Structure 1
Amino acid sequence: MTERILSIELSLEEGNLLLIALAECPFKIVFELIGKLNQQAHYHFAEGVDQSGKKIFTFTELEIRLAIKALGKLPYEHVHHLLFSLKKQMTHQLQPESDLPVKPSNTYAGN
């Protein structure tokens, strides 16, 4: 079974906060994720590219859980908005299709 890939929107400021949190973790555990995030950030926020707004970063489920755990070690007032956003995006993407709300149809039986 392959691990699912999540597409998470992060601003430059949120990405920097995430890197700060990961830097506080044992290097052996986070070095690959830090490298992956740096590579994506260089692409998204390169010189001459609009650096405002949020960009899509990809994480495996394990990587996003590691990121959330790292953020949980920082002061709440610094990370609570980012944690809420990450958990919301993660929950939305991992929700099985059968749990998604069903849109009402305009067609009726017999039409």
Structure 2
Amino acid sequence: MQLPANAPSWEHAVVAAVKRHCCSNPAFLDWVILIRPYRFLMLLLWLLACYASSRLGLGPIFILCSIAALIFCNLGKRKPGEASAYSIFNPGVRALPGQLDASEIDRQFRHGQMG
């Protein structure tokens, strides 16, 4: 894995220093490249909050809330006019073209197209 060409020079220096001084294990270098400073800070804050909640006896609740937050933060955004794969989220509960649903199966059975 390589750093992108537009990455700041300090990131290139960190990767070069890790290669020179620590180890040249490709898996470790991948983690150094993938974990950006913002992600590393978020991971440290989450671990600190996890430790604090476990000391208060709220560890399982914190983990469940963390999982729910992670799911909702990674749902993504649809572009304007883009349909969802789940018809219930589309305006007018519109199905995608070619989507097989119960009404389509019923129509095929009634008209003898399945057999």
TM-score by length of 2: 0.29
Structure number with greater CO (CA < 8 Å, separation at least 6) is: 1
TM-score by length of 1: 0.30
